Amino acid sequence: MSSFRRSFSPSPSPSKRPCPSLKAGKPASKPPPSTSALSLNTELQNLSRNKRGHAALQLYNQNFSTVDSHHSSIVLNALIRSGLISESFTFLKQIEKRHLESTEAYTIIIKGLIHSGDLKLAYAYFQKMLLSKKTKPSTRTLNTILRGCLWSSGGGVSGILDNVWFKYYGEKDGSSYEYYVECLSNALRIEASFKGINEFCEKIGWGNNWSCVDFSKGVEENGESFVSCLLNVARGMSLLGEGREGIEKVIEKAREGIYAIQVLGEKEEIGEKKKMVGGKRGRNTTDERIESNRLFRSHKLSSITTEINFLHQRLQTSSWTKKMLKGEMRRRLFVFSGGATTDHVKRGVKGDEEGEDWNKVALG
């Protein structure tokens, strides 16, 4: 800040003295929110949690002269959560006219469009944010649109994915890379997937080669994202019918990562609030949120471990063939995407005509 400081003569005239409320070289700080603003904030959040969009909008209008951009975002979220899509867009236009739009507001709209299955319109809003000086997309915005690419299908998804990833210059967290690599792997873009993993490793200080990562230095909160990326690449390689050696290399590194998370990770958990980057995890540091994250990570790690061990077991089977693994992966991805029930797994239902019954061949 020293470059912005101005030197004044020992006895300047009163008209030239700096304003007492402003320090030289420092911008004026915003006053803290009033008690009434905080109270309104709490009321609107409660209505949003209970999906009472109309009630939130009514309360907002009753306090129309005092509401700010944060109140506006809460109401917009309440309308989206209540399924009031047309009302949401009407309300968005109103707050835009009053210049109360924000990054959070547009992120909420993008999320609503993603859940409605309209990836193209969500991407249009993302592009609008990229061009804006006031409402640049955040990490949460990026992750929201990446999840939309993950949940969508069609010829245009890959183009949207690439544009989103390479035109966004903000912060990317572990979830960002996880969603991105999973999208690429689902599209069978294996080479690009590995590039994404290497970029992730370099960003978090693990070198620029996924196969040379040393977990002895610690895994922290990035371990799950890393092994999840490897699992998705291994799935893609299996669907492409690639050779055993290449898939085994990926799976073994993933197993090494799982071990590091389970053993070394326990030493890092000392009961303190761990740093989380991006999205809701970055904004909320309450004990309730931390416990929720810990539970989520536990379930996520358990699911990843199960799938990695499954692939490892199949690759160790003497009767292993590319054709068998390809058919089995198709079936498992169909089941886990919600296209069937877990009873199909217990009964050993085949995925397609190429698949053979692994329960008979591998499990005896």
CB contact burial 301-340 (16+ within 10 A = b; e otherwise): beebbebbebbbebbeeeeeeeebbbbbbbbbeebeeeee
Domain count along the chain: 1
DSSP 250-309: HHHHHHHHHHIIIIIHHHH--SS-----SHHHHH--SHHHHHHHHHHHHHHHHHHHHHHH
| Torsional sign, CA 257, 263, 264, 269 | positive
Report yes or no on 306 lying in a domain. Answer: yes
Report yes or no on 299 lying in a domain. Answer: yes
- pLDDT of the residue at 100: 95
**Regions of the chain short of the pLDDT cut 50:** 1-26, 268, 270-284, 338-364
Report yes or no on 236 lying in a domain. Answer: yes
Name residues whose C-beta falls within 8 Å of residue 300's C-beta, 6 or more positions apart in sequence.
Answer: 224, 228
Cα separation, 7 vs 47, whole angstroms: 53
Residue type (1 letter), 313: Q
Report yes or no on 8 lying in a domain. Answer: no
Report yes or no on 240 lying in a domain. Answer: yes
Its domain, for residue 219, covers 172-267+290-316
The answer to whether 16 and 42 are in contact (CB under 8 A) is: no
Question: Which of 101, 111, 117 is closest to 79 using CA atoms?
Answer: 111
What contacts 24+ positions apart, CB below 8 Å, involve 353-359?
354/323, 354/326, 354/327, 354/330, 355/323, 355/324, 355/326, 355/327, 355/328, 355/330, 355/331, 356/323, 356/324, 356/327, 358/314, 358/324, 358/328
In degrees and rounded to multiples of 5, residue 102 shows phi and psi of: -150, 170
The answer to whether 178 and 284 are in contact (CB under 8 A) is: no
Cα separation, 75 vs 287, whole angstroms: 26
DSSP H or E stretch at residue 84: none
Cβ atoms within 10 A of the Cβ of 341, count? 11
Cα separation, 21 vs 282, whole angstroms: 33
What contacts 24+ positions apart, CB below 8 Å, involve 356-359?
356/323, 356/324, 356/327, 358/314, 358/324, 358/328
**DSSP state at residue 330:** H
Q: What is the dihedral of CA 192, 196, 198, 200, to 10 degrees?
A: 180
In degrees and rounded to multiples of 5, residue 328 shows phi and psi of: -65, -40
Report yes or no on 50 lying in a domain. Answer: no
Cα separation, 56 vs 76, whole angstroms: 9
Per-residue pLDDT tens digits for 31-54? 777 888 889 999 999 999 999 999
- pLDDT of the residue at 154: 64
Tokens of 162: 């690439």
Distance of CA 341 to the CA centre of its chain: 26
Question: Which of 187, 295, 167 is closest to 232 using CA atoms?
Answer: 187
Per-residue pLDDT tens digits for 324-341? 777 777 776 665 554 433
Report yes or no on 184 lying in a domain. Answer: yes
CB contact burial 116-127 (16+ within 10 A = b; e otherwise): eebbeebbebbe
Report yes or no on 225 lying in a domain. Answer: yes
The answer to whether 185 and 195 are in contact (CB under 8 A) is: no
- pLDDT of the residue at 266: 55
- pLDDT of the residue at 325: 76
